[in-house]
Amino acid sequence: MFRLIRFALILPVVFVAGMLFERNAHADRCLDLGGQVKSDLCRGWEN
């Protein structure tokens, strides 16, 4: 029973950590292309 409760507590933490990691990676890719991140969108980059 404890494992199920522990899993229910850890799962949201891992999900949020993954979302933050991907958001940071997106911003890094945008900045590498010469753009700016505004409202979580990459603007100002060119192909």
pLDDT digits (tens, 9 = 90+) for 1-47: 899 999 999 999 999 999 999 999 999 999 999 999 998 899 987 76
Tell me which residue range forms the domain holding 9.
2-43
Alpha-carbon span 22 to 29, nearest angstrom? 10
Are the C-beta atoms of residues 31 and 37 closer than 8 Å to each other?
yes
As for how many domains the chain has, the answer is: 1
User: Residue 40's pLDDT is what?
Assistant: 87
Looking at 1-47, list the stretches that DSSP marks H as alpha helix, in order from N- to C-terminal side: 2-32
CA 23 to chain centre: 3
Using left for φ > 0, alpha for ψ between -120 and 50, and beta otherwise, residue 31 falls in alpha
